[in-house]
Structure 1
Amino acid sequence: MKYTLLASALLLAGCSAIMPTARQHFDLEAHRGGRGLAPENTLAAFSNAVDMGVTTLELDIGLTADGVVVISHDTSLNPDHTRDASGAWLAPKSGAPIRTLTLAQLQTYDVGRINPASNYGKLFALQAPRDGERIPTLASLFAQVQARGADAATVRFNIETKIDPSKPDETAAPEPMVRALLAEIDKANMANRVTIQSFDWRTLTLVGKLAPQLPRAYLTTARTLKDKRWTDGLDAASFASVPQMVRAASANAPGPVIWSPAFADLTPEVIREAHKLGLKVLPWTVNQRADMQRLMDWGADGIITDYPDILRDLMRERGLSLPPPGKNAS
């Protein structure tokens, strides 16, 4: 009996060394709703991601001329995936800034398909078109998810404020954008399901003052870290590492803090350092399976990807807990 128990224990130990340990909170984020699969930042894309089963819908917001919070990565209409009321593609570099258009004007444009002649179209050639999709309001996304009830009750939102401090005339200023965003979150009673992220850390400082319990994600690239306009005045040269800089920037509020770097900037050592400082690490935008595997091996807390289907399959193979698929999933 003792030999049998010992052999069983050794077998289990050996299995645990080669089998992944299930983690309940790996964050599967659909970048712009999963733009590898459906038109970016549209209600169709977000619905598709919920159907598939993701932890979080990642999206970007801006303000219209009449102060409505809308979902768009671009600060101006993008000719790569925008057609006018007649169905014609916008001419290159002709897209009007979103802040100069009212919601009614914005709704005349179709963003349900990529221009196949564009470089962007070639990059996402397998994206399924959804003709007739409009740039949605944030309120309409919240309403869509709420209407699904228990089907989408656990889905979170990672919302990026699209502001470029080096081009202040292109968007609303940080404070009106943050206040409008927080008002929409409160109106929909979604505060417990939202993270606010930004490359422009001024907006995260404001969130820390106005809604200190909200999770904040500090987006970074090598370029923005070198420019104090992006880091709310912090000088990267004054810190031994980026995690230490993020920790210092986030010290003004008690809410959870995430470091969200370009994935190529990560190493196992810097992820461990971030964790020791109490930061979660959520890299962007990871589309290759091999890169996903490596980051998971290194201990990333989640991944932002254009292809949530690939990441979901990889999570399944590793025995990770999967977010439930929606009722419309096959």
Structure 2
Amino acid sequence: MKKYISLTFCILFVYTQMFAQDFDLEGHRGARGLMPENTIPAFKKALDLGVTTLEMDVCISKDKKVVVSHEPYMNALYATKPNGLEVTKAEEASLNLYQMTYPQIKQFDTGKRGNALFPEQEKVATHKPLLSETIKACEAYIKEKGLKAVRYNIEIKSEEKEYGISQPETVEEFSNLVYQEIIKYLPANSVILQSFDFNVLKFWHKQIETKQYQNIALSALDEKTNPEKAFEELGFLPSFYSPYYKTLTKEQVQFCHEKNVKVVPWTVNTLEDMKKIKATGVDGLITDYPNRAKDL
């Protein structure tokens, strides 16, 4: 009996160390300030810097692949065409990922130009990876380097006006494609699913409640700066509330905590702002510069 109790305690201790962090440091799009966003080099960099969660975005390709990308198109800020020419702003709309197969998407480079908005970002030849490719690469890297396990905060990039245009026609189809990739490669308790599109979150909540989906934590991304209104619109309490950090107040953090909702704001990039936002009692933060958070 004592042996059983000891084993149980060890399992619980390991779980606590892995996923119940006191403060959740999330690498935004990997580590966008330092490496090309939403790429495997960026996620590996974030892991090297000790993040507890890898934050990433997903879109869907024409051949129904789950692609790690913030926009459902090739961004003129950093994308390069297969012929070596830079993608122009005028071309973005025509380079709709939902109208391109993944082999076509993979031919575009998304790192060797760097990003003028992030001067510290290293220029690296790379591409938009599949979600499956990303998870496998990160898990292998964690094992190779002997790093601590991390969570994956996966954002479904969805807008009502884009249904059927740059994304699947229904949130059900979009969600099912993403969910199948998640459960194929990760345990449910190591994943957070977030979105600004509350239709997506409502669908996931229903699927989880009816046992169609495993119990994956849901995070409400919000630009409205009002958790009470957000929760009312959702119709349920998410595990996480994730607002823009500049509009978050200590009172809002307390309101969320009273309802057992954790607060993880985005995107906090200076050490000064990190310290200020941590002082409000948040449970973590999302940043382009995980390296700057080492002094928190």
- Same-fold call, TM cutoff 0.5: yes
Alignment of 1:173-184 (within 5 A): 173-184=170-181
Aligned to 2:167: 171
Partner SS, residue 211 of structure 1: helix
Superposed CA RMSD in Å reads 1.9
The offset of 1:149, in angstroms, is 5.0
Partner of 1:122: 116
The structure with the largest alpha-carbon Rg is: 1
Report deviation, 1:66: 0.5
CA distance in 1, matches of 2:148, 2:208: 22
2:66 is aligned to 69
Going from structure 1 to structure 2, the CA distance change for 1:57 and 1:149 (only over 3 Å counts) comes to closer
Per-residue CA deviation, residues 203-249 of structure 1 (Å, 9 max, x unaligned), is 11111122342111101113xx8xxxxxxxxxxxxxxxx32234445
Instruction: Give the match for residue 278 of structure 1.
Output: 260
What is the correspondence of 1:236-251 to structure 2 with a 5 Å cutoff?
Answer: 242-249=226-233
Indicate the residue corresponding to 1:16 in structure 2: none
Q: Which residue of 1 aligns with 2:282?
A: 300
| Contact 1:157-1:195 at 8 Å conserved across structures | yes
Structure 1 stretches of 5 or more lacking a match? 1-22, 116-120, 226-241, 316-330
> What residue in structure 2 maps to residue 310 of structure 1?
292
**Equivalent residues of 1:83, 1:89 under 8 A apart:** yes
- Read off the aligned partner of 1:58 and give its amino acid letter: E
Partner of 2:5: none
The list of structure 1 runs, each at least 4 consecutive aligned residues, that deviate by more than 4 angstroms after superposition, is 249-253
Q: Secondary structure at the match of 1:166?
A: helix
Q: Do the aligned partners of residues 126 and 273 (structure 1) sit closer, same or farther apart at CA in structure 2, a change above 3 Å counting? A: same
Equivalent runs, 1:310-329 vs 2, <5 Å:
310-311=292-293, 313-315=294-296
Q: Is 1:98 aligned to 2:101, yes or no?
A: no
User: Is 1:26 aligned with 2:23?
Assistant: yes
Deviations 1:87-144 (A, max 9, x none): 21112230311100001111110111345xxxxx33201101111x110000001111
Flag structure 2 segments of 5+ consecutive residues without an equivalent.
Answer: 1-19, 210-214
CA contact (8 A) 1:60 1:159 kept: yes
SS state at 1:144 partner: helix
Query: 1:138 — aligned with what?
Result: 131
Q: Secondary structure at the match of 1:122?
A: coil
State the SS of the aligned residue for 1:32.
Answer: coil
For the residue of structure 1 that corresponds to 2:57, the secondary structure is: strand
Shifted more, 187-196 versus 38-47: the winner is 187-196
TM-score, normalised via structure 2 length: 0.85
Output the CA distance in 2 between the equivalents of 1:153 and 1:314.
19
Which structure has more RCO (C-alpha within 8 Å, separation ≥ 6)?
1
1:197 paired residue among 194, 199, 207: 194
Superposition deviation, residue 170 in structure 1:
2.3
Q: Count how many residue pairs are aligned between Structure 1 and Structure 2.
A: 266
Secondary structure, aligned partner of 1:62: strand
Q: What's the counterpart of residue 208 of structure 2?
A: 211
Letter in structure 1 aligned against 2:53: T
Structure 2 CA distance, aligned partners of 1:145 and 1:92?
32
